[in-house]
């Protein structure tokens, strides 16, 4: 049974592990980032027309009054989580930030009011820029930080040394970049020569290409379903 390393942080890693296990594979949760809340409630949001979510990490920090207003998500998994938390009017772009900006522009008018974009540190800038160029006012607020782990997870290191890892899943460019740094620090670069790197997007795959992977595979769509299809 092949070992699949899951580098995404919680929340999300456990759900992915359950999906991988259901495929008959052996998931090992080995996050390389830790999500930490920024603290405090985002300010200046009294008149927002809608909320934009590019990650499930931003769902919980949203003020509860946002639940009664439209929310636009980058993907279906984030949309499902938003509904679970209590958002009532949820619309998914089922794609990437470009698709999300297009969906918002097709659905809303700039004069309807400002858009709330809760996001991670150093994230969301391109989406905000795109929508501002379309005439929207975007209130980008940092609601969480993705803090890099200090070293490679012990279980991941052991499996890489044993040579029984078949694939590693990368859900963002940030996780890919930090995994590469940790692998180099642990002097385990050569351990991936028989391992497939599975990236959610071309952007996430860029940092991986300097390592001697068996293959670097990019999902046909930027979502978990397309990534897991590459494990079959």
CA nearest neighbour of 152 among 123, 121, 194, 191 = 191
For 52-105, how does the pLDDT look when each residue is reduced to its tens digit (9 = 90+)?
999 988 998 888 889 999 999 998 989 999 999 999 999 999 988 999 999 999
- pLDDT (tens digit, 9 = 90+) per residue, 166-196? 999 999 999 999 999 999 999 999 999 999 9
CATH code for the domain defined by 36-146: 3.40.50.10090
All residues at 6 or more sequence positions from 133 whose CB lies less than 8 Å from its CB, including other chains: none
Does the pLDDT value for residue 124 go beyond 70?
Answer: yes
Q: Where are the domains of the chain?
A: 36-146
Q: In sequence order, what are the residues at sequence separation of 6 or more whose Cβ sits closer than 8 angstroms to the Cβ of residue 74?
A: 53, 54, 55, 92, 93, 95, 96, 97, 99, 100
**pTM, whole model, 2 decimals?**
0.81
């Amino acid at each position: 049974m092949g070992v699949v390393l899951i580098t995404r942080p919680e929340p999300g890693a456990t759900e992915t592990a359950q999906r991988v296990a259901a495929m008959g594979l052996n998931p090992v949760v080995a996050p390389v980032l830790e999500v930490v809340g920024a603290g405090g409630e985002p300010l200046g949001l009294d008149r927002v027309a809608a909320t934009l979510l590019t990650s499930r990490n931003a769902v919980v920090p949203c003020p509860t009054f946002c639940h009664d207003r439209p929310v636009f998500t980058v993907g279906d998994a984030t949309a499902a989580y938003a509904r679970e938390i209590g958002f009532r009017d949820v619309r998914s772009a089922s794609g990437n930030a470009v698709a999300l900006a297009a969906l918002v522009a097709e659905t809303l008018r700039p004069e309807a009011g400002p858009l709330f974009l809760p996001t991670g540190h150093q994230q969301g800038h391109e989406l905000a820029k795109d929508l501002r160029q379309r005439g929207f006012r975007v209130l980008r607020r940092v609601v969480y930080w993705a803090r890099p782990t200090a070293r490679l997870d012990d279980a991941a290191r052991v499996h890489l040394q044993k040579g029984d890892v078949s694939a590693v899943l990368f859900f963002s460019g940030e996780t890919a970049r930090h995994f590469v740094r940790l692998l180099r620090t642990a002097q385990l670069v050569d351990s991936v020569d028989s391992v497939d790197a599975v990236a959610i997007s071309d952007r996430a795959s860029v940092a991986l290409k300097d390592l001697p992977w068996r293959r670097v595979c990019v999902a046909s769509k930027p979502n978990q379903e397309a990534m897991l299809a590459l494990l079959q």
